[in-house]
Amino acid sequence: MSNSYQINSKEEYDLAYKKSIENPEAFWSDVADNFHWHKKWDQVLHWDFVSPKIEWFKGGKLNITENCLDRWVKSQPDAAAIIWEANDPNEESRTLTYKELHFKVSQFANVLKNNGARKGDRICIYMPMVPELTIAILACARIGCIHSVVFGGFSAQSISDRIQDAQCNIVITADGAFRGNKSIPLKSIIDEALITCPSVKKVIVLTRTSIPVSMLNGRDVWWEEEIKQVENKGNPECIAESMDAEDMLFILYTSGSTGKPKGVVHTCGGYMVWTNYTFVNVFQYQKSQIHFCTADIGWITGHSYIIYGPLSAGATSLMFEGIPTWPDSGRFWDIIEKHKVDILYTAPTAIRSLMGFGLDPIKEKNLSSLKILGTVGEPINEEAWHWYNENIGKKNCPIVDTWWQTETGGILISNIAGITKSKPTFATLPLPGIQPIIVDENGNELVGNNVSGNLCIKFPWPGILRTTYGDHERCRTAYFSTYKNLYFTGDGCLRDAEGDYRITGRVDDVLNVSGHRIGTAEVENAINMHSGVVESAIVGYPHDIKGQGIYAFVIFNGIHTDEAHTRKDICITVSKIIGAIAKPDKIQFVSGLPKTRSGKIMRRILRKIAEGETTNLGDTTTLLDPAVVEEIKLNRL
């Protein structure tokens, strides 16, 4: 790749950064000129953080799939767009060239149209990590439908909440999914979810595990049969819908500190420019390299760095269906050797879990193709960073520590591979266009170096969220009202003596468990659904592999003959309501919770107890019943 906006040296980074701050409109206009637009924008940027209202490339017309597919079909039709590695290493891997992917996306877009999909419709996608997932996503974008991908680990209840919130009319799923030695019955989970989703008129089902499923006449159709119908019509090309830059591209639900997950909305133009710019620069992608992002497409990392970032850059993106520890803990290393992967982008939690298996699984593996390593999703601890650097990168591969969020669309703070320095546990420097500011509790800016506080951003970048679906006020209160005229990230952060940023973790009631965002309120609500539970409080505690574990304090008045059994029951309840990812790691039964006289749970105290701190709990005099703290301390797990 050699784009005019590819940063090739520290000097170029400094220059790009300076220009992006001094004249953001000219800077992003130059970058956006490298894409295919049907019509050029009238205005580069229009914004205020009060409403908030943010518009990039307004009036511009484009289709993101033409930028991800058609332009590469012209220049490099036979280059691999996707390499897919199955869950089972004995199943053959698949490669889809740009030409093939383009064909299949166009074909499936026609299937969607035949099933009633129209521009602006919301389509829920609940699928395994197979190439058809990418095809389904791009097919939605091709015809202007808004995709809402739901991670395969979520329960029927969670899916139903998301479908109802977005009023989806079509669901794309599969009979089942393979994950390690398990298989998950996706279609039957969808069936359960749809009992409460009258808006859904069609369900398109891909065959993956070949387990028996029930198909509802008139509503459910098979992917393969629908494709045949399009083939019978001679496979007409599906013309890409002309979208406004600010039309919605997708919704992705994410947890916040209150209430149900919110539907973060990204739009076509800005998101495309941002994912592409950050992909090309942070990973220093070079033509024909193989990029392996191990995230699931059900999360933002998969959206931005398996699909849109790499494909909009004409890159080869490796998609893996399985898990890092099956059939054994050498699976990542096998894949890297087999496909000669150049760039590996994974989560600290995966690194820590693989560290636990020692060096044997790596010994005989040839990892010499690797050039760049990346991490994302949570703070990386020093030990994991060094292990990654020494044993995977062989001290030869720069590690990029990329900080960002579902709401930011793409990476905001990160070193640039091999160009700006890496520093263990530091995301280091803001990318061009990003103006971070650290504030104290009252919103006062902390200037200079050697400061720590709450991380905000003071100027929009093209990939920033535009709204939360169906509830703009929620977007305003969650991100733009804590501090005036600033986007509040919810993260704590420090800027060291050299001006480098280190993200220290969430400062709100959101946990980060194995890199997954989980709201404490959501887990509490789920636990409280158990008929024997009176009240509960959730806090995070340090966990060697997951980063944070979930500690639940539960007041139980049901009859429990056996605590272990009740704990299991509560976990089943949480799995049913949210999904297995939100199951508490520890459940302590208590007779009361530490509350203020006004009835507010003092989480600070519970957090300290969960972390193992029992002496220095801070001020407990304002508590309604200080004795309860003693009891909780005594019975700590």
Interface region with ligand WTA, contact rule CB under 6 A, candidates 128-136, 217-225, 240-248, 485-493: 485-493
> Which one of residues 132, 491, 500, 509 is an interface residue with ligand WTA (CB under 6 A)?
491
Q: How far is the CB of 262 from ligand WTA (least distance, A)?
A: 11
* CA distances from residue 35 to 5, 283, 314 in whole angstroms, order as listed: 12, 19, 12
Q: How far is the CB of 413 from ligand WTA (least distance, A)?
A: 8
Q: Does the footprint of ligand WTA cover residue 427 (CB under 6 A)?
A: yes
Interface region with ligand WTA, contact rule CB under 6 A, candidates 237-245, 318-326, 370-378, 576-584: 370-378
Q: Please, which residue, 13 or 403, has the CB nearer to ligand WTA?
A: 403
Q: How far is the CB of 491 from ligand WTA (least distance, A)?
A: 5
Q: Please, which residue, 176 or 324, has the CB nearer to ligand WTA?
A: 324
HSE of 538, CA atoms in CB hemisphere, 13 A: 27
Q: How far is the CB of 168 from ligand WTA (least distance, A)?
A: 21
DSSP letter for each residue of 182-245: EEE-HHHHHHHHHTT-TT--EEEEE-SS-------TTTEEEHHHHHHHHHHTT----PPP-EET
Residue 27 three-state SS: helix
- Whether 70 and 36 have beta carbons less than 8 Å apart is answered as yes
Q: How far is the CB of 185 from ligand WTA (least distance, A)?
A: 26
Interface region with ligand WTA, contact rule CB under 6 A, candidates 118-126, 296-304, 437-445, 459-467: 296-304
> Which one of residues 142, 466, 506, 530 is an interface residue with ligand WTA (CB under 6 A)?
506
Give the number of residues in contact with ligand WTA, rule: CB under 6 A: 23
Q: Helices 98-114 and 223-232, interaxial angle, to 10°?
A: 100
> Which one of residues 205, 367, 503, 513 is an interface residue with ligand WTA (CB under 6 A)?
503
Q: Does the footprint of ligand WTA cover residue 517 (CB under 6 A)?
A: yes
* Dist CA 532 CA 586 (whole Å): 17
- Whether 171 and 203 have beta carbons less than 8 Å apart is answered as yes
Q: How far is the CB of 35 from ligand WTA (least distance, A)?
A: 23
Residues constituting the chain = 637
Q: Does the footprint of ligand WTA cover residue 406 (CB under 6 A)?
A: yes
Q: Does the footprint of ligand WTA cover residue 378 (CB under 6 A)?
A: yes
**Chain-centre distance of CA 508, in angstroms?**
18
> Which one of residues 158, 284, 301, 415 is an interface residue with ligand WTA (CB under 6 A)?
301
* Dist CA 545 CA 401 (whole Å): 18
Q: Does the footprint of ligand WTA cover residue 494 (CB under 6 A)?
A: no
Q: Which helix (H) or strand (E) holds 350?
A: helix 348-355
Q: Which helix (H) or strand (E) holds 541?
A: strand 533-543
Q: How far is the CB of 265 from ligand WTA (least distance, A)?
A: 14
Burial class of residue 583 in the structure, from the number of CB atoms within 10 Å of its CB (0-12 exposed, 13-18 middle, 19+ buried): buried
Interface region with ligand WTA, contact rule CB under 6 A, candidates 155-163, 399-407, 477-485, 565-573: 399-407
Residues 6+ apart with CB under 8 A from 29: 44
DSSP, res 263: E
> Which one of residues 403, 459, 488, 551 is an interface residue with ligand WTA (CB under 6 A)?
403
Q: Does the footprint of ligand WTA cover residue 302 (CB under 6 A)?
A: no
Output b/e per residue, 53-66; b: 16+ Cβ within 10 A. ebbbbbebbbbbbb
Q: How far is the CB of 179 from ligand WTA (least distance, A)?
A: 20
Residues 6+ apart with CB under 8 A from 27: 16, 19, 20, 432, 433
Interface region with ligand WTA, contact rule CB under 6 A, candidates 144-152, 189-197, 374-382, 559-567: 374-382
Q: Which helix (H) or strand (E) holds 10?
A: helix 10-22
Residues between 164 and 183 with contacts to ligand WTA, criterion CB under 6 A? none
Q: How far is the CB of 585 from ligand WTA (least distance, A)?
A: 19
- Least Cα distance to 401 among 371, 379, 370 occurs for 379
Residues between 232 and 271 with contacts to ligand WTA, criterion CB under 6 A? 254
The tokens for 419 are: 């160009």
Q: Does the footprint of ligand WTA cover residue 401 (CB under 6 A)?
A: yes
User: Strands 94-97 and 262-267: what pairing?
Assistant: unpaired
* Dist CA 88 CA 182 (whole Å): 11
Q: Does the footprint of ligand WTA cover residue 519 (CB under 6 A)?
A: no
Q: How far is the CB of 390 from ligand WTA (least distance, A)?
A: 20
Q: Please, which residue, 120 or 542, has the CB nearer to ligand WTA?
A: 542
Long-range CB pairs of 255-258 (<8 Å, 24+ gap) are 255/510, 255/517, 255/518, 255/519, 255/522, 256/478, 256/508, 256/510, 256/519, 257/490, 257/508, 257/509, 257/510, 257/519, 257/520, 257/521, 258/509, 258/519, 258/521
* Dist CA 274 CA 78 (whole Å): 26
Q: Does the footprint of ligand WTA cover residue 376 (CB under 6 A)?
A: yes
Q: Does the footprint of ligand WTA cover residue 379 (CB under 6 A)?
A: yes
Q: How far is the CB of 489 from ligand WTA (least distance, A)?
A: 6
Q: Please, which residue, 144 or 377, has the CB nearer to ligand WTA?
A: 377
Q: Please, which residue, 255 or 435, has the CB nearer to ligand WTA?
A: 255
Q: Please, which residue, 27 or 426, has the CB nearer to ligand WTA?
A: 426
Q: How far is the CB of 122 from ligand WTA (least distance, A)?
A: 20
Interface region with ligand WTA, contact rule CB under 6 A, candidates 36-44, 211-219, 400-408, 584-592: 400-408
Interface region with ligand WTA, contact rule CB under 6 A, candidates 55-63, 295-303, 458-466, 594-602: 295-303
The tokens for 539 are: 């806090």
> Which one of residues 490, 519, 549, 584 is an interface residue with ligand WTA (CB under 6 A)?
490
- Whether 543 and 505 have beta carbons less than 8 Å apart is answered as no
> Which one of residues 294, 316, 454, 512 is an interface residue with ligand WTA (CB under 6 A)?
512
* Dist CA 577 CA 555 (whole Å): 19
Residues between 96 and 125 with contacts to ligand WTA, criterion CB under 6 A? none
What is the layout of strands, in order, in the sheet containing 248-254? 220-222, 202-206, 170-174, 122-126, 146-149, 248-254, 262-267, 467-468
Q: Does the footprint of ligand WTA cover residue 482 (CB under 6 A)?
A: no
> Which one of residues 131, 309, 322, 377 is an interface residue with ligand WTA (CB under 6 A)?
377
Q: Please, which residue, 282 or 427, has the CB nearer to ligand WTA?
A: 427
Q: Please, which residue, 254 or 520, has the CB nearer to ligand WTA?
A: 254
Instruction: List contacts with ligand WTA (CB under 6 A).
Output: 254, 299-301, 376-379, 401-406, 427, 489-491, 503, 505-506, 512, 517
